[in-house]
Amino acid sequence: MEYLSLPFLLRKGFLDKTDLYDSITNSIGLILSTRKGSLPFDPEYGCDLWDKEFSDLFMANRSELQGAVRNAIDIYEARLFNVSVSLMNIASGPDHPLGIAVKIIGNFKDENDERRFEEIFSIG
């Protein structure tokens, strides 16, 4: 099965397509980068990470943040199950100014096969 790719690019009258793994990656990226309450049609969509100030991310209760991310994924990315979330410190630099990333591991069904999902999303 094919899924729409992000960002939406119209080429020769058609939107780009992607596979299930990349579709899940795109969906989680949207969830993580959206502040709750910013979408009027679904005020609960998004992630509680953005309720913290950037400086608070270093001092916040990591298990609370991990639970908030896992909860958002459970609600808005139902194709992924057995989800685990961890916060990681990464080297800060121009591409990663905060030096924090979220690692998501889980499983999904592709056709009749169960596959593993594992991605790291930088925050900031």
pLDDT tens-place string over residues 62-114: 788 888 899 999 999 999 999 999 988 776 666 655 667 899 999 999 888 99
* pLDDT of 17 above 60: yes
Question: What integer pLDDT is reported at residue 32 of this predicted model?
Answer: 92
Over range 7-20, report the average pLDDT. 75
pLDDT category at 119 given cuts 50, 70, 90 is: very high
**4 within 8 A of 18, measured Cβ to Cβ:** yes
The domain defined by 3-123 folds into: Nuclear Transport Factor 2; Chain: A, (3.10.450)
The Cα 13–Cα 20 span in angstroms is 22
pTM of the model: 0.81
Query: Which of 71, 72, 64, 104 is closest to 88 using CA atoms?
Result: 104
The span from the CA of 67 to the CA of 44, in Å, is: 15
Per-domain residue ranges of the chain: 3-123
**Half-sphere exposure at residue 85, Cβ-oriented, CA atoms within 13 angstroms:** 22
> Which alpha helices (H) appear in 1-124, and where do they start and end?
20-33, 54-59, 62-76
Give me the pLDDT at residue 104, please: 97
Span 46-63, average pLDDT: 67
Q: What angle do CA 103, 109, 110 make, to 5 degrees?
A: 105
CB 76 within 8 A of CB 30: no
